[in-house]
């Protein structure tokens, strides 16, 4: 009897709270539509957190009680496609690389940057196996393929600049990664700037790697962003907060278990050997830290300047004042007691000593 009474009391109280505090009564979306770059076969390109969210049902664990489901969109047009999907409201939350996310924001896309979505993405320069090209300098006047608007496009500009070349020195051809992989095999391009697919091409004997960003300054590697449509964040702040919590959980798992992360990343369609070689010497903790640390902030600020200089964007902006919203991440870290879990990485990507 006493139990029933207290249960009734609890219900009444919560109802009262519901009535007087409209914040608690935030309406909930039926579905959270998530989008990230995908391969030509509709598989995710960068698995990382996504792999863990899917494999461990982290999203369902958090949202099942509210009946909220998640819709995964792995967009073939990669980062630029994620921007388009955000702009025409076909997704709510997206994960994308540095160049597309900054280009989107610079182009006036109304998003909030709520967490870091993955760092250390490498770019590889491959040439057909029997090519005479041996260095970046040799690319002068050659037909070079890259997926324009992706982080590899940004990496290309940095890499050729070091070799004293500009885009005008190259015959630049834009194509998606699947096309470029074929084009290298059929020698339709003289060189291509691609992802770790380079290792797969090399193991098939069709390509040679003449350059990679593994040992280049960390600025040459990509840093991704988790962004939310501003209208969605305004309407469902609590849902966004909980989504970021799921993301942070997945980031922790991805950062802790290198072997498992790489295994899950084979969902991208890349063979394990390729992923292992790509991640050789890479700190998973660094790669999957969701935190806006010195490295990330510096990377984005410097990138904005660099893109502007290279006419990839026309408007610059202040990422801290105009884009980042730390409230979701701060709340998630606090909820999960992970405020101290990730080291702060400095501009060179090294953990700062406390």
CA dist list (Å): 35 to 58, 90, 228, 292, 331? 17, 9, 10, 21, 23
Among 35, 38, 48, 100, binds other proteins (CB under 8 A): 100
Q: Is 149 left (phi over 0), alpha (psi -120 to 50) or beta?
A: left
Task: Please choose, out of 78-86, 212-220, 267-275, 289-297, the segment that lies near other proteins by the rule CB under 8 A.
Answer: 78-86
Query: Which among 194, 190, 185 is positioned nearest to 170, based on CA atoms?
Result: 190
The verdict on 87 binding other proteins (CB under 8 A) reads yes
CA dist list (Å): 281 to 124, 220, 258, 286? 16, 16, 11, 11
Among 106, 182, 257, 266, binds other proteins (CB under 8 A): 106
Residues in Cβ contact with 215 at an 8 Å cutoff, skipping those fewer than 6 apart: none
Nearer to other proteins, 87 or 344 (CB): 87
Q: How many CA atoms lie within 13 A of 142 on its CB side?
A: 25
Nearer to other proteins, 175 or 209 (CB): 175
Residue 332, SS3? helix
- Contact set for other proteins, span 312-351 (CB under 8 A): 312-314
The verdict on 171 binding other proteins (CB under 8 A) reads yes
Among 97, 149, 255, 290, binds other proteins (CB under 8 A): 149
- Contact set for other proteins, span 234-293 (CB under 8 A): none
Nearer to other proteins, 140 or 267 (CB): 140
- Cα–Cα distance for residue pair 301/297, rounded to 1 Å: 6
The verdict on 175 binding other proteins (CB under 8 A) reads yes
Q: Given the rule CB under 8 A, which residues bind other proteins?
A: 80, 83-84, 87-88, 99-100, 103-104, 106-110, 148-149, 153, 171-175, 188, 312-314
């Amino acid at each position: 009897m006493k139990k029933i009474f207290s249960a009734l009391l609890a219900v009444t109280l919560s109802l009262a709270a519901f009535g007087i505090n409209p914040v608690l009564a935030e309406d909930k979306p039926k579905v959270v539509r998530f989008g990230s770059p995908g391969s030509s076969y509709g598989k995710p390109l960068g698995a990382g957190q996504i792999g863990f969210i899917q494999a461990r049902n982290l999203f369902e664990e958090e949202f099942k009680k509210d009946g909220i489901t998640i819709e995964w969109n792995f967009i073939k047009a990669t980062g630029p496609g994620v921007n388009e999907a955000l702009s025409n409201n076909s997704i709510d939350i997206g994960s994308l690389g540095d160049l597309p996310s900054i280009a989107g924001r610079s182009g006036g896309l109304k998003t909030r940057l709520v967490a870091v979505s993955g760092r250390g993405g490498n770019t590889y320069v491959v040439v057909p196996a029997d090519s005479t090209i041996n260095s970046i300098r040799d690319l002068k006047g050659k037909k070079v393929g890259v997926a324009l608007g992706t982080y590899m496009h940004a990496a290309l500009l940095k890499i050729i600049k070091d070799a004293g070349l500009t885009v005008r020195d190259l015959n630049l051809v834009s194509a998606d990664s699947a096309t470029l992989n074929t084009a290298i095999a059929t020698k339709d391009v003289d060189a291509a700037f691609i992802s770790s697919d380079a290792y797969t091409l090399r193991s098939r004997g069709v390509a040679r790697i003449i350059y990679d960003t593994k040992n280049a300054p960390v600025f040459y590697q990509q840093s991704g962003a988790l962004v939310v449509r501003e209208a969605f964040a305004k309407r469902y702040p609590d849902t966004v907060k909980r989504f970021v919590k799921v993301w942070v959980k997945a980031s922790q798992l991805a950062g802790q278990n290198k072997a498992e992360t790489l295994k899950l990343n084979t969902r991208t369609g890349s063979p394990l050997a390729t992923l292992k070689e790509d991640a050789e010497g890479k700190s998973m903790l660094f790669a999957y830290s969701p935190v806006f640390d010195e490295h990330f902030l510096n990377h984005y600020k410097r990138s904005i300047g660099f893109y502007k200089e290279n006419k990839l964007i026309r408007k610059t902006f202040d990422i801290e004042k105009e884009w980042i919203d730390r409230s979701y991440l701060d709340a998630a870290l606090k909820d999960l007691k992970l405020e101290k879990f990730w080291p702060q990485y400095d501009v060179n990507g090294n953990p700062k000593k406390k």
